[in-house]
Structure 1
Amino acid sequence: MIPTGFPQLLCFSILIAVASLRGCKGDAGSLQLNDDVLGLIVFRSDLHDPFSYLASWNEDDNSPCSWEFVQCNPATCRVTELSLDGLSLSGKIGRGLQKLQNLKGLSLSNNNLTGNISPELSLMGSLERLNLSRNGLTGRIPSSLAKSSIKFLDLSANALSGPLPDDMFESCFNLRFLSLAQNFLEGNIPSTLSRCASLSNLNLSNNFFSGNPIFSSGLWSLTRLRTLDLSHNTLSGPIPDGVSAIHNLKELRLQKNRFSSSLPSDIGLCPHLIKLDFSNNLFTGAIPESGQLLNSVTLFDVSNNMLSGSFPQWIGDKINLEHIDFSGNGLEGVLPLSMGNLKSLTYLSLSGNRINGSIPPSLFDLGLDQVDLSRNELSGSIPGGSGRLSESLQALDLSGNKLTGDIPAEMGLFSKLRYLNLSWNNLQSRMPPELGYFQYLTVVDLRNSALYGSIPDDICDSASLGILQLDGNSLTGPIPEEIGNCSSLYLLSLSHNNISGSIPESISMLKKLKILKLESNQLSGEIPPELGRLENLLAVNVSYNLLTGRLPVGGIFQNLDPSAMIGNLGICSPLLKGPCKMNVPKPLVLDPYAYGNQIGGRNRGSESSRSSRNSSHHRFLSISAIIAISAAVLIAIGVMVISLVNISTRRRIAFIDNALESVCSSSTRSGSLSAGKLVLFDSKTSADWISGPESLLHKAAEIGVGAFGTVYKASLGEELGDGRTLAIKKLVTTNIIQYSGDFDREVRILGKARHQNLLPLKGYYWTPQMQLLVSEYAPNGSLQAKLHERSTSSPPLSWPIRFKILLGTAKGLAHLHHSFRPPIIHYNMKPSNVLLDEDFNPKLSDFGLIRLLTKLDKHVISNRFQSALGYVAPELACQSLRVNEKCDIYGFGVLILELVTGKRSVEYGEENMVILNDHVRVLLEQGSVLDCVDSSMGEYPEEEVLPVVKLALVCTSQIPSSRPSMLEVVQILQVIKTPISHRMEAF
């Protein structure tokens, strides 16, 4: 019997034998044993090379020195360098590399290598440079890897985990470059790191390191450091003085940790410091005065801390500064005039402080790209700006200040401006006509700025305008017809002004429009019916105007909430109470006096004339009274007839129901099942089943079990003649409606819920003993399977796909909540009920089944908790069985967190249980919420993920009234996903 592994051993032995017959020609030209050929061939055997980059590696060659990606020492013909970066290689790093005893440099970065890092790599005695970055390596880092010969070690962007070995850096005195960034490493940074006296570049960012490495690891003793990056960890505690000992330090990045106390007072004694980032920590106190010695600094970021004191007046002397971000602190004082000296400055953010005084005009003479001075106490006028600024400025945010005066006409020359926010000021000026000159303007926010006058006709000359917000001003006049030229507009908000006239029909040309807010104005007339064709419109508010007439047919107008229409003269909608005024021509009424005057002649006296007019008037009233009485009589007769018809119909239906109930009950008593009928909503005829309900499930395969029943996959090709595969849910019999008429009515209501993000209900099968629901079958499975039950061969969901699923699910749920009265409650929001089509568009299934229950009893609620633990709103568990839209919103918030983190709603450890909602909330409070983002999805935009996480935590609020509506959720997600969100979050 051949032992296990014998073929591999035989192959390995043959390779050794063959290699022993070859050699590299040395000085004497004799054959020498060349282990390098053997080692590289064995190493390649563990790899998958999809593009055949290693095709030149031929085991019949005497030497590998002619192979591609291999470098040799010409004197010895031994391999010294192996660089296989970015070749899409997969597999494991095999043991063949051990043969390369003269190898000095090994670089395998940017591939798809997996598995652990073998400790045997350290056996290559001459290895000086090792780069395994940007792969999928897992497990712990061997302690022997940072041995004495290593000078360059890069293991970044893998999936390495666990703590670093305490003895890892005992012999690292030659190590100059170390990067372990973007892994899952945790625990304290070993104290032995201080022995790496030659270290010049240290990057441990984007891990889970904790503790205080400045104290425990003695990092300030690494005096040769030029770059130190500890950002995006959970490091904490104060930063002691002593950084000045690192005399050559050029970059210091400590952002997004939990460092506290004051900034190191000797930071300015690092004369070569170029980039300094202390943002998103818990630092307090003032910016150190020694900072005025940082003459080489180009990036200075201390944003989102708790710093106080005066704004540093010496900042204007740092002429090399390119990026300043002091936002989100409590700095006071005025901006120095010397800031105009910062000729290299391109990014300035001072928002969220207490800075007062005026904006230095010289600041607007710089070549800035982005300026954010919002949420301060600045006063005075807005500087005009020079030609240099007009050529560079892309984003300007001066909102939330006390600025006054006109919006400078020079702004019309800002050719690259994309984002303009002057809201919440006291400008007291007219709308600037120059706004129409911006060709790339995407966002205009002028809310609550005391603007007056009319809206300029040419405001939409910018074809890229996406957001126009003019709320809370004193604007007058009509909405210009030219508003229809804003072809990219998706948010138009003109509420709380004095705008008059009619709503322009040209708004119907805004095909991308999602939000339209016109409330609290003086608009009159009817809403143009063409607005009903705006398919992307998600929210409309026209309340408190002078509007009359019918609502547009189609679109969102058929399901508007009454609060979006109230306060008008008379909009005609069954959802509103009060008068309904139609703009129709008034009936022609002949003057009853005219003929009398002609007949009576001009010379008739006044008394005769009055008598004649009174007589005519009495005759006219009599005719009107007769018409009114006749109409009333006709209406009364009609009501009586309809009532009689309804009574007769009800009696017939009741008789039929009683007969059916009698038949069903007698059939049950006799022990046989009543024959059922498959009712399909989209078919003209229904398929009758002869052999009873069992035949429907005879060929079906069970694919899931939930709180309301079991789901089967069934092919109805033979029965229906169209080859369809459908999903069949066999409902639990407990507490389900038992009357066919009631069951039919409720299921048909659910069948009318048609939306691109809802799995349509196709029909049902009913007998007293069995109730089945028929819906479309989703062959691509559920979100639960893609997110939590993914096989290793299946790629993870990327962020764009996750956001698509998130937004589509929100739209489907919003349709259920806002398109029906009363709303349809899903009641079972969880990933297993979000199905995916072939393009990963979500289809919400199992919605509204609570309608089929006669009551929500303890049995059902218990099953609900067991099958959807972590998704159930707390009010259902703690208070009563009140089920409404807010319960769905809670479950949707948990689903958001699962999509972002890749974790289940509840996870069980060896000793405890982690509730995802609570875990993320704690991380957000600690300022490290991005640490929980699912790393498997690769790169993701923080400016989208962070607000999505915050939205999820609002949706999962313990107080139901604090949760937003699903319509508001959709609006928020739409705003988050817009391209301008990248620009806004840059501040």
Structure 2
Amino acid sequence: MRPLALLLLAHLALLAAAPAAEAKGGGAGLDDDVLGLIVFKADVTDPDGRLTTWSEYDARACNWAGVTCDARTGRVSALSLAGFGLSGKLGRGLLRLEALQSLSLARNNLSGDVPADLARLPALQTLDLSGNAFAGAIPNGLFSRCRALRDVSLAGNAFSGDIPRDVAACATLASLNLSSNRLAGALPSDIWSLNALRTLDLSGNAVTGDLPVGISKMFNLRALNLRGNRLTGGLPDDIGDCPLLRSVDLGSNSLSGNLPESLRRLSTCTYLDLSSNEFTGSVPTWVGEMASLEVLDLSGNKFSGEIPGSIGGLMSLKELRLSGNGFTGGLPESIGGCKSLMHVDVSWNSLTGALPGWVFASAVQWVSVSENTLSGEVSVPANASSELRGVDLSNNVFSGVIPSEISKLQNLQMLNMSWNSFSGSIPPSILAMKSLEALDLTANRINGSIPAVIGGDSLKELRLGKNSLTGKIPPQIGNCSSLASLDLSRNNLTGTIPETIANLANLQTADLSRNQLTGGLPKNLSNLPHLLHFNISHNQLSGDLPPGSFFDTIPLSSVADNPGLCGAKLNSSCPGVLPKPIVLNPDSSTDPLSQTVPVPAGGPRHKKTILSISALVAIGAAVLIAVGVITITVLNLRVRTPGSHSAAVLELSDGYLSQSPTTDVNAGKLVMFGGGNPEFSASTHALLNKDCELGRGGFGTVYKTNLRDGQPVAIKKLTVSSLVKSQVEFEREVKMLGKLHHRNLVALKGYYWTPSLQLLIYEFVSGGNLHKLLHESSTTNCLSWKERFDIILGIARSLAHLHRHDIIHYNLKSSNILLDGSGEAKVGDYGLAKLLPMLDRYVLSSKVQSALGYMAPEFACRTVKITEKCDVYGFGVIILEILTGRTPVEYMEDDVIVLCDVVRGALDEGKVDECVDERLCGKFPPEEAIPIMKLGLVCTSQVPSNRPDMYEVVNILELIRCPQDSPETELG
């Protein structure tokens, strides 16, 4: 045994008795620091070798990684191991570090309990355990025994239960962060007695009940964050009596009532976010007295009345967000007096009147007034600002011509004037703007031709559909080198499609349907590398479709109603010259295609074999198919041989999936998050038996089994083993996924690893998946409107949670949405693409996005960044799927029906009743159904930047939901 190992064993009893020794005033030597850290190291796993400098032979620990010593005493004063990749338990070795002032173990994978005695370290001031996997209740006594604690962060773990009531006993606390856990129950009323507290963050939990009164006792409080809980009731009347309060975030709760007048006294408050609650009444004029405000967010509530003009007196205001309320009246001219204002969002209200001049003349950079009833003509003053970056005037009743003076806005990147009543022609100067990236003039009364000056290098999106444009598509459109989305549909355009459109190397979607275009299609269109959607239906085009894989697989609906088009795809032969037959000499030993074989006079007459080119192609195809079948058969036989890895795994003994010690080099590693009995009640062979199979997906097959304690679990056997990262990277990613906890996510409970087999262990969800419920269940097992709305909202909340933790789902579809016994949605299969060494979109397209219709257009484009907006697209499709009961894509005998097109057409024609699922239990409220359908269509926008964030989606859904008077309310 190593010399110090004996010493460690001898000191274990001392470690357990450390508090008692401290109480007796017993001193501690320098070796206690070394001893305590070595014992701490023995309790954790260090996969990255970050603690290799820690040696029991050293007299001091001052040169060890992450360790800082006091220059005067030589004692360990700080231990910073943040992001070291450690796992295991937090043992009692640290209790020997009596001079420790700062302890940071953030962003590791430590689990188990937190020793309550940590807070009793006499010098400890900072404790940061955030971003780990600690679970269970926060230990009793952690706060009541504190001595010098000032800053505590337990954020980003899995702590549950109530907020400890003894937290108020730690009078020295200046900062307390318990955010992003699973804490529930009411907020302790005596928490306000922490009068030294400067920062309190309890966001992202499930805290319930009303906010207790008495917050005015916290006269040192600077920042209060209770976002994302389930708080109810009104704001405390004395909330404005915290004189130093600078940041208040109470968003995404269920708070209600009017704003208390005491808020006006928060003269130093710079950030006030009350969004996504149920506040009512008018916004009082005294809000203009909160002179230090930089951000004011009241969006997603039920405020009414007019927007107070006193807001114009807030000289420090940078962001004003009032969307999704019931504000009426006009948009105050006084807001233009906010000299620092950069972002204004008053969309989704009932505002009337004209557009104030400050929209174009102030220092504001982004303005959205969409979804109101603003009217009149839009004019740009002579002193137009060069700061403006984006303007959204969509879905109002503006009229008149589009002012050419908009071109004075030299830095304008986005201009959306869609769904209004603008008339006249498009000013050429606007299309010539060098900075413009997106122009949307859809659904107006615009006439005339498309200006020939079009060709800005920055233009990525051009939407001119549903107008009365005439003339030809200008060939200069080929100069728009960045153009990704083009919509010229539903106009009166004539002439041919210009050849230059094939120069748009970044083009992803183009809609030229319902015009009067003639001629053929440019042959080079098939060379566009990123083209995903090309709709030319309902024109007068002729000739054959361009060659290439895109037009070989184009949906028939995209080329329909062009009588002159022909080709195999359209089941219509194109006129042309038939090829001459090739004469083959069966006696020739040379290439029959490289010479002419004469027939000697008087010689033997051989029968000539005549094969057409089409016959040769058919023969070649048959040979390729035969080779493919043989290859697949051989591979399948190899997989089934006893020597294959998977077969060997399946026949291992019952003890294979346990954590018992083994010397077998092929034995795997099983890790269960949060502890518990890791053994299964059946052998590995039984676990992965087809009788236990629940389903198959892009990443693998899912089986059901039970743990030894009877708890059912679902096990996913990954079928992308050849693509999976190394064990270290695999474990790091899986552990990160294991930390995600949300009521609408299927919980990842553990994993199993060998080089040839990886298993993921999930909670078992008993209610089946959404796809089967919508499309395969009987008519008696239907969903009500409320159930469908709850499922949509649950999915949205889970995606918002994933995106907040920088996790993209990548594989969102109805079969990956499970329902528990109470019908609540739980999203599964999230984040698994991160297990691959790199994001190969073509691998993912074939393996993961196997269900056609959910995949965002940019997913197949190598040059376009994959973001959370891909999930938003899939979510939009699922919204429409839930509301209509139809699959995203339906294949008819001679057509392909895309669900988005069906819903869009139903909305345009006012036939929502015909669009809603016939199997809906009961009736539905149109005032909810129509906005949700519109939201689904917005989420499935072809351009990612047009899709909302999932956080915004949740706010919109909560806003859409109409309160019902009683369960018996009759819904039309």
**Counterpart for residue 126 of structure 2:** 129
Task: Tell me the alpha carbon deviations over residues 328-368 of structure 1, each in whole angstroms, 9 at most, x when there is no partner.
Answer: 11101112222221110011111111222222223422222
Alpha carbons 1:177, 1:202 under 8 Å: kept: yes
Aligned partners of 1:559 and 1:38: how far apart in 2?
A: 69
Shift of 1:131: 1.9
| Unmatched 5+ stretches in structure 1 | 18-29, 585-677, 705-729, 733-756, 760-776, 803-830, 832-837, 839-864, 882-889, 921-930
Task: Flag the 1:383–1:13 CA change in 2: closer, same or farther, 3 A.
Answer: farther
| Alignment match of 2:503 (pick from 502, 506, 509) | 509
Aligned partners of 2:814 and 2:516: how far apart in 1?
A: 51
Aligned partners of 1:74 and 1:876: how far apart in 2?
A: 72
Task: Flag the 1:66–1:536 CA change in 2: closer, same or farther, 3 A.
Answer: closer
Aligned partners of 2:443 and 2:216: how far apart in 1?
A: 51
Alpha carbons 1:549, 1:570 under 8 Å: kept: yes
Aligned partners of 1:58 and 1:307: how far apart in 2?
A: 64
Secondary structure of the residue aligned to 2:292 is coil
Aligned partners of 1:103 and 1:687: how far apart in 2?
A: 66
**Counterpart for residue 365 of structure 2:** 369
**Counterpart for residue 179 of structure 1:** 177
**TM-score, scaled to structure 2:** 0.63
1:451 aligns with 2:446: yes
Secondary structure of the residue aligned to 1:248 is coil
Alpha carbons 1:231, 1:253 under 8 Å: kept: yes
**TM-score, scaled to structure 1:** 0.63
Alpha carbons 1:294, 1:318 under 8 Å: kept: yes
Alpha carbons 1:166, 1:191 under 8 Å: kept: no
Compare CA radii of gyration and give the structure with the larger one.
1
* 1:8-407 superposed matches below 5 A: 10-13=7-10, 34-46=31-43, 59=56, 62-64=59-61, 70-73=67-70, 76-86=73-83, 91-147=88-144, 148-212=146-210, 214-215=211-212, 219=215, 221-384=217-380, 389-390=385-386, 392-407=387-402
* 1:555-634 superposed matches below 5 A: 555-572=549-566
Alpha carbons 2:350, 2:373 under 8 Å: kept: yes
Secondary structure of the residue aligned to 1:122 is helix
Aligned partners of 2:829 and 2:269: how far apart in 1?
A: 32
Alpha carbons 1:508, 1:534 under 8 Å: kept: yes
- Which amino acid in 1 is paired with 2:205? N
Task: Tell me the alpha carbon deviations over residues 747-766 of structure 1, each in whole angstroms, 9 at most, x when there is no partner.
Answer: xxxxxxxxxx999xxxxxxx
Secondary structure of the residue aligned to 2:310 is helix
Task: Tell me the alpha carbon deviations over residues 923-966 of structure 1, each in whole angstroms, 9 at most, x when there is no partner.
Answer: xxxxxxxx99889989x976665564343343344633798888
Task: Flag the 1:428–1:60 CA change in 2: closer, same or farther, 3 A.
Answer: same
**Counterpart for residue 978 of structure 1:** 944
Alpha carbons 1:514, 1:537 under 8 Å: kept: yes
1:795 aligns with 2:733: yes
**Counterpart for residue 664 of structure 1:** none
Secondary structure of the residue aligned to 1:308 is strand
- Which amino acid in 1 is paired with 2:114? I
Shift of 1:688: 14
Task: Flag the 1:300–1:952 CA change in 2: closer, same or farther, 3 A.
Answer: same
Alpha carbons 1:429, 1:451 under 8 Å: kept: yes
**Counterpart for residue 913 of structure 1:** 821
Task: Tell me the alpha carbon deviations over residues 553-608 of structure 1, each in whole angstroms, 9 at most, x when there is no partner.
Answer: 3344344444434444533367779x999899xxxxxxxxxxxxxxxxxxxxxxxx
1:550 aligns with 2:550: no
Aligned partners of 2:382 and 2:88: how far apart in 1?
A: 58
Task: Tell me the alpha carbon deviations over residues 400-433 of structure 1, each in whole angstroms, 9 at most, x when there is no partner.
Answer: 1222344343433434332221111222132122
Secondary structure of the residue aligned to 2:880 is helix
Alpha carbons 2:872, 2:948 under 8 Å: kept: no
Task: Flag the 1:485–1:127 CA change in 2: closer, same or farther, 3 A.
Answer: same
Task: Flag the 1:684–1:536 CA change in 2: closer, same or farther, 3 A.
Answer: closer
- Which amino acid in 2 is paired with 1:311? I
**Counterpart for residue 805 of structure 1:** none
Aligned partners of 1:41 and 1:976: how far apart in 2?
A: 57
- Which amino acid in 2 is paired with 1:508? A
| Alignment match of 2:477 (pick from 468, 483, 486) | 483
- Which amino acid in 2 is paired with 1:174? T
1:441 aligns with 2:381: no
Alpha carbons 1:339, 1:363 under 8 Å: kept: no
Secondary structure of the residue aligned to 2:167 is coil
Task: Flag the 1:933–1:126 CA change in 2: closer, same or farther, 3 A.
Answer: farther
Secondary structure of the residue aligned to 2:776 is helix
Secondary structure of the residue aligned to 1:82 is strand
Aligned partners of 1:218 and 1:388: how far apart in 2?
A: 49
Aligned partners of 1:412 and 1:195: how far apart in 2?
A: 58
**Counterpart for residue 499 of structure 1:** 493
Task: Flag the 1:554–1:84 CA change in 2: closer, same or farther, 3 A.
Answer: closer
Shift of 1:907: 7.1
Secondary structure of the residue aligned to 1:263 is coil
Task: Tell me the alpha carbon deviations over residues 202-247 of structure 1, each in whole angstroms, 9 at most, x when there is no partner.
Answer: 00112222222x13x7545434322110012222333342212222
**Counterpart for residue 599 of structure 1:** none
**Counterpart for residue 878 of structure 1:** 778
**Counterpart for residue 627 of structure 2:** 683
Aligned partners of 1:942 and 1:313: how far apart in 2?
A: 37
1:522 aligns with 2:516: yes
Shift of 1:868: 7.1
Alpha carbons 2:44, 2:86 under 8 Å: kept: yes
**Counterpart for residue 880 of structure 2:** 954
Task: Tell me the alpha carbon deviations over residues 590-643 of structure 1, each in whole angstroms, 9 at most, x when there is no partner.
Answer: xxxxxxxxxxxxxxxxxxxxxxxxxxxxxxxxxxxxxxxxxxxxxxxxxxxxxx
Aligned partners of 1:797 and 1:494: how far apart in 2?
A: 48
Alpha carbons 1:907, 1:913 under 8 Å: kept: no
Secondary structure of the residue aligned to 2:305 is coil
Alpha carbons 1:443, 1:980 under 8 Å: kept: no
- Which amino acid in 2 is paired with 1:683? V
Task: Tell me the alpha carbon deviations over residues 115-161 of structure 1, each in whole angstroms, 9 at most, x when there is no partner.
Answer: 43222312313322212223444443222222342443333543222
Shift of 1:36: 2.5
Task: Flag the 1:385–1:204 CA change in 2: closer, same or farther, 3 A.
Answer: farther
- Which amino acid in 2 is paired with 1:305? N
- Which amino acid in 1 is paired with 2:335? M
- Which amino acid in 2 is paired with 1:367? A
Alpha carbons 1:413, 1:437 under 8 Å: kept: no
| Alignment match of 1:431 (pick from 426, 430, 444) | 426
Task: Flag the 1:517–1:876 CA change in 2: closer, same or farther, 3 A.
Answer: same
**Counterpart for residue 585 of structure 2:** none
Secondary structure of the residue aligned to 2:878 is helix
Shift of 1:383: 3.8
CA root-mean-square deviation: 5.1
Shift of 1:303: 0.7
Single out whichever of 972-981 and 495-504 deviates more from structure 2: 972-981
Task: Flag the 1:782–1:281 CA change in 2: closer, same or farther, 3 A.
Answer: farther
Aligned partners of 1:975 and 1:425: how far apart in 2?
A: 19
More helix by share: 1
**Counterpart for residue 714 of structure 2:** none
* 1:798-809 superposed matches below 5 A: none
Secondary structure of the residue aligned to 1:681 is helix
Task: Tell me the alpha carbon deviations over residues 421-451 of structure 1, each in whole angstroms, 9 at most, x when there is no partner.
Answer: 1111222132122234433433211112322
Aligned partners of 1:185 and 1:932: how far apart in 2?
A: 25
How many residue pairs match? The answer is: 718
